[in-house]
């Protein structure tokens, strides 16, 4: 009798322990899932800058670590799926069903014991023995099933955490080379802008020099007038002096 109670107590403690272990795994899932979601967001963020021109080795390193990040995330999602959705845990039967079973078993015992002329006390002891057997069977079978599930789940959970850990490392490396590429691109853009400004200034100087050397006519000056040609003067010897005739010619004008 004492040994039977001890076995029931041991089976119940083992059963509770496996259920607590299962719940402990479930408590870790939100942290792991949140980390994976953030890593997926980082992958999508780097996707818009995913290019390879072959001019800089940092671009190749950025692309390589980004691919490692994607592969480790795929493995993490695979292990997480294996950890969460492939197990069926076993539990002790409901008290209502046990009660109905014992009730029917009592009637069965009563019918069979009437033929064997067993007393009521013997019938009660037999029913109690059946109850202990049923309870121990439920506990022991549940412990075996749940312990096997917890061992497998723990293995896949460790693989998931390990994959997430490597994904975080690859994320930092990817971000590092991404930052270097952005700095190089900014520097190259600044150099190109400076070249454009210098070329623009040279073109402006050339245009100003051409305007100064090509246009000899000052701006705002009048068009020069062609002078009038002098006409020949006819002078008669009897008409007077040359100066008088010239003055008359000028007056006529």
pLDDT value of position 6: 84
Query: Is residue 141 pLDDT above 80, yes or no?
Result: yes
123 or 155, higher pLDDT? 155
Confidence category of residue 163, pLDDT binned at 50, 70, 90: very high
Q: Rounded to 5 degrees, what angle do the CA atoms 10, 158, 19 make?
A: 25
Q: Residues 28, 32, 34, 36: what is their CA dihedral angle, to the nearest 10 degrees?
A: -170
238 or 23, higher pLDDT? 23
Q: Residues 191, 195, 201, 207: what is their CA dihedral angle, to the nearest 10 degrees?
A: -170
pLDDT value of position 69: 93
In angstroms, what CA-CA distances link 45 with 50, 53, 64, 164? 10, 19, 16, 18
Please state at what angle helix 2-47 crosses helix 120-214, rounded to 10 degrees: 10
Each domain of the chain, given as residue ranges in start order, spans 2-91+146-199
pLDDT value of position 220: 53
Query: Is residue 21 pLDDT above 90, yes or no?
Result: yes
Query: Is residue 235 pLDDT above 60, yes or no?
Result: no
Query: Is residue 218 pLDDT above 70, yes or no?
Result: no
Q: Rounded to 5 degrees, what angle do the CA atoms 76, 82, 86 make?
A: 160
**212-248 as b/e, with b when 16 or more CB fall inside 10 Å?**
eeeeeeeeeeeeeeeeeeeeeeeeeeeeeeeeeeeee
């Amino acid at each position: 009798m004492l040994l039977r109670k001890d076995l029931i107590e041991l089976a119940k403690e083992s059963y509770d322990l496996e259920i607590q272990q299962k719940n402990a795994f479930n408590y870790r899932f939100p942290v792991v899932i949140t980390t994976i979601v953030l890593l997926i967001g980082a992958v999508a963020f780097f996707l818009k800058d995913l290019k390879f021109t072959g001019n800089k080795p940092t671009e190749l390193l950025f692309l390589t670590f980004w691919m490692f990040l994607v592969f480790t995330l795929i493995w993490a999602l695979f292990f997480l799926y294996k950890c969460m959705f492939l197990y069926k845990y076993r539990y002790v039967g409901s008290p209502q069903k046990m009660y109905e079973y014992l009730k029917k078993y009592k009637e069965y015992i009563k019918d069979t014991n009437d033929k064997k002329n067993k007393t009521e006390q013997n019938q009660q002891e037999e029913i109690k023995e059946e109850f202990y057997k049923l309870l121990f069977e439920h506990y022991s079978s549940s412990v075996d099933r749940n312990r096997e599930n917890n061992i497998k789940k723990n293995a896949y959970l460790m693989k998931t955490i390990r994959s997430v850990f490597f994904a975080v490392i690859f994320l930092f490396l990817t971000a590092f080379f991404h930052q270097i590429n952005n700095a190089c691109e900014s520097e190259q853009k600044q150099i190109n802008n400076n070249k454009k400004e210098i070329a623009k200034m040279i073109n402006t100087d050339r245009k100003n020099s051409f305007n100064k050397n090509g246009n000899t006519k000052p701006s705002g000056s009048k068009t020069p007038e062609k002078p009038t040609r002098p006409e020949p003067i006819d002078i008669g010897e009897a008409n007077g002096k040359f100066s008088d005739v010239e003055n008359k010619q000028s007056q006529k004008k």
